[in-house]
Amino acid sequence: MPNALTEDLNLISRFKDGDLAAFEEFVRKNEDRIYNLCRYMLRDASDAQDAAQDTFIKAYKGLKDFQPDASPSTWLYRVAVNTCLDHKKKYRNDPLSGEAVPGDLPSPDPSPEGSYHARRDAEVLRTALRELPEKLRSAIVLREIEGLSYEEIAAVLDISMGTVKSRIARARDELRVIVSGKS
């Protein structure tokens, strides 16, 4: 059975040969993952949708030069993280505008109580993450939200393993203080 890496490489290869449907499939396959990352990197759902959309538009242009020896998911994560960081700089002082974006889709947990707790925890986390410096936030989100290994995070952020460990440790320490309510 082909794994996710092989599937992505096949889709990219077909897209480079001019198959637009392959790119659409690539987007559909990765949209939740990238949107989720942007949701935790940025302020709200509207910003996250903009950044996630920009990520795939950059991917549309950039995949033509993609080298098959690289990992598509690492490459896509890197584009997404950089897009989120650029988005924050660009829209730092601008009020939100544009089409209304529906709120996040509900958690698949069927129990209302479970869904409520999951949403509340997500909001507590997002608020705490917003207080972290961008470098620490991107490292801890890739680790805790996306489940990337230290090696994968180092490849996405283009930093050393030692720096990854240090940023994650510092992020956890700051979050611990924020969440436990200490100054």
Partner 1 sequence: MNCRRTKKMISPYIDDELTPREKEAFLEHIGKCQECSRELEEARAVHLIFTKTERSQAPYGFTERVMAETARKDAQRKSFWELIPFRPLLPGLVEVACALAIMVLGIIAGNQLVLHSPAHQERAGIEQAFSLDVFQANPPGSVEGAYARIMEAGNEG
Answer yes or no whether residue 172 interacts with partner 1 by CB under 8 A: yes
Q: Which of 119, 135, 159, 163 binds partner 1 (CB under 8 A)?
A: 119
CA distance 168 to 150: 9
Task: Work out how close the CB of 91 gets to partner 1 at its nearest, in angstroms, rounded to a whole number.
Answer: 18
Q: Using the rule CB under 8 A, is 165 a contact of partner 1? A: yes
The H or E element that residue 92 is part of is none
According to CB under 8 A, which residues from 1 to 40 bind partner 1?
20, 23-24, 27-28, 31-32, 34-36, 39
Q: Which member of 44, 86, 134, 173 binds partner 1 (CB under 8 A)?
A: 173
Site string for partner 1, 76-115 (x = CB under 8 A): -------------------------xx-xx-x-x-----x
162-180: b (≥16 Cβ within 10 Å) or e: eebeebbebbeebbeebee
Q: Residues binding partner 1: what is the number (CB under 8 A)?
A: 46
